[in-house]
Chains A and B, each alone.
Chain A
Amino acid sequence: MSIDRRAFLAKSFGGFAAGTTLAAGEAQALTLARPDKVASPDAVGILYDSTLCVGCKACVAACKAANGAPAVVPATLADWNQGEWDSAEDLDGRTLNVIKAYVNGTREVKDRETDGFAFVKRHCLHCIDPSCVSVCPVSAMQKHPVSGIVTNDKDACMGCRYCSYACPFGVPQFDLTQAYGRINKCEMCGHLQAKGGIPACCDVCPTGASLFGKLTDLQKEAETRISLPAGTPHDFPRGRLGGDRPANPGQTANYLKKVYGEKDAGGTQLRYIAGVPFDKLGLPNLPNHSFAATAEGIQHTIYKWFAAPVVLFAGLLALTYRSTRKGNGGAGGDAPHSSEKS
């Protein structure tokens, strides 16, 4: 649709010109959004390499132990499993990290889309410009200015679950099983990091599929892996990138040429590389901008300097004063006691 047509439309419907112009602005991708936030130079993160994951779920068990989260048993398994075996199938109020599988057809080859299978690890992606932090009315969701870790403060949280509702990845989870539950989410084991440790999932991962490190270093490592032809020998670090743990020698897989989370939704601090398309792994196709930026942009356009409400209120005061005092049609406040004015 051409600009001319839109201009013509705006002219022809004089009464709705404003609405049309706004709409046309949107059509041209003129957005009210503020600029996206950028990552802290010292941000930490996790690189998850789906091709290295063997689906052992040691990270799920370690996560539960490190965070004191109880086992979850789906109702379908309850007759043979009384909770001695954690069998969470997805993120929930008691599961901060979960391994899921993609399967197709005969499931013959790992990391192949057709007749293959693949694993994916799901937990908080620690967005660079997170929706959950933006939408939280009581500042319970916070993003650490240096590490970039996104946390929930249960003493601030009122349990409205707007963070869960707005998260593009469906991550923050309210524990609905408790009378007075709380939001639970991956906080990248901040309590372990404070003691010099690394997130439990990365610590326990035998293959280095979950790798902790500085975000910029992880991105470089990811780019190196996906740029190498499949089958190239490569040492896969484990635990912490740049740590003293011996790396696993191996070969690069047939990677997709994309690091998920580099730009998606404005960028995330959990980054994925994989051999199977990311949307097949349950990671949605998202635009390369932050949703928080759009929502805050709209809100702060309407409420710039709080001018609009103040002006509106002043105008309303003048009009309601007139109609309640002058004794014309609307005389007498709530009830029309026209006799009162004399």
Chain B
Amino acid sequence: MHDAHVQPRPLGGRILTVPVAILTVLTLVGFYYIAKRYFFGIGAVANVNPGYPWGIWVAFDVIVGPAIGCGGFAMALLTYVLNQGKYHPIMRPALLGGLFGYTLAGVAVMIDLGRYFNSMNLLLPWHLNTNSIMLETALCVMAYVAVLWIEFSPAFLERFGLSKLRKTLERFMFVIIALGVLLPTMHQSALGTILAVNESKLSPLWWTQLLPVLYLISAVAMGYSVVAFEATLVSRGFRLKSELPLLSSIGRIILWLVVAFMFIRIGVIVLNGNLGLAFESTRAALLFWVETFLFGAAIVLLSTDRLRRTERYIFLSACALLLGGTFYRLDSYLLVYTGSPGWRYFPSVPELMITIGLVSLHVLLFILFCKLLPVLSNPPRQAAEAHAS
């Protein structure tokens, strides 16, 4: 391993670039509507209604967001649990993605909660309902956000030269890392179990008692995909050396996860005799095929060694899988959810702007942290390919 490859360092450079400016504006627009929501209520900005009590703030920000934030979880699984030290260089950026994915999901929850002050009750033992899967997800999210900040804190400590504290932290970091795998395992599977109660409101193309298994597998696959996605964009965007060899081996893992996911999902549908539903002319059937196409595309794009060694195909497969996993979640939570008769839901512009604002904030903070803190460890492309200039 190259020495230059192991020491993460701040990228430096100009802070105020065009992308940063655009992202800041979008974030501010989002925050304007967030303020409006707090002053005038959810109904003043969102189109959620008596028939569809959950909209995109839940389905996208709280359900899809953390799945896209599974990079840190998935890479910790590989780097520390399976002890594959070679993945270290992409550990920190993966963690950073997870840090914001989960933290901003927590922020989104506080926007969507109608009686947010009472969320304190989640910490009062006499209020807890251990039958509630929402309780599990809420406690796991809170704990995991704390764990992610501790997991990422060495970047701050290194930046500000607090090496003594850094060493103390090192001693019990293995506990934090173990929690950093346990909590998202529980949380991501529970996001599937949340839907278990909706047997009558969800098409059998999605509803099964194995929802927690499917949600967990697809979340880990999305975690690896987002690492491949981010790493490609980062090396291109910041003109750094590519992490292709590492991404190729990750591609192999993604492949088997998607195959397992599809095998179980389609297997359950076939064994329960529900495959016919996929051939009706319904929105559910259409969305089922959109998902199947995207997951299938990810499998095909990763199917051979040659494809997995090509940056473009890894990137495309990661995109397909992230989209597929996103659709799987949006569909099961919202797009094929059976609301009360006579009601429809389509997000309003202010509602969308809040979601867009939070996504912009995620990307904005990711860029700023990469510039100011030791996150990335790829050498600049010119240094790596000096002769190529």
List chain A positions with a Cβ less than 8 A from chain B. 1, 6, 13, 16, 19-20, 22-24, 26-27, 31-32, 90-93, 131, 134-140, 154-162, 164-166, 168, 170, 173-174, 176-183, 265, 282, 284, 286-287, 291-292, 294-296, 298-300, 302-303, 309, 312-313, 316-317, 319-325, 328-336, 338, 340
Contacts and interface: CB of A to CB of B under 8 A. Distances in A.
Contact of A335 (B53, B154, B341): B154
B114 A180 contact: yes
Given A166-B201, A174-B53, 9 more contacts: A27-B273, A139-B129, A179-B39, A291-B199, A298-B212, A302-B193, A312-B185, A323-B174, A340-B170
A294 B128 contact: no
A202 to B, nearest CB: 24
Contacts, number: 273
B214 to A, nearest CB: 10
B128 A138 contact: yes
Nearest to A326: B83
Nearest to A282: B341
A333 B154 CA distance: 9
Output the residue of B81, B86, B91, B92 with the most chain A CB within 10 A.
B81
Contacts of A322: 83
A162 B62 CA distance: 13
Nearest to A303: B136
The 5 closest A-B pairs by CB, nearest first: A329-B85, A159-B114, A176-B43, A170-B340, A159-B115
Contacts of A157: 114-115, 118
A174 B343 CA distance: 15
A178 B41 contact: yes
Interface of B: 6-8, 38-43, 46, 48-51, 53-54, 79-86, 88, 91-92, 95, 112-116, 118-119, 121-122, 127-129, 131-136, 138, 151-152, 154-155, 158, 167, 169-170, 173-175, 177-179, 181-182, 185-186, 189, 193-194, 196-201, 208-213, 260, 263-264, 267-268, 271-273, 337, 339-343, 374
A90 B50 contact: yes
A324 B174 contact: yes
Nearest to B171: A333
Given A26-B209, A302-B193, A317-B178, A19 B260 contact: yes
B118 A176 contact: no
B8 A138 contact: no
A323 B83 contact: yes
Interface centre among A6, A22, A287 (most CB of B within 10 A): A22
A131 B198 CA distance: 9
A17 to B, nearest CB: 11
B264 A156 contact: no
A164 B337 CA distance: 12
A159 B211 CA distance: 25
Given A158-B121, A158-B122, A174 B83 contact: no
Task: Pick from B39, B173, B209, B268 the residue with the most CB of A within 10 Å.
Answer: B209
A232 B134 CA distance: 51
B332 to A, nearest CB: 12
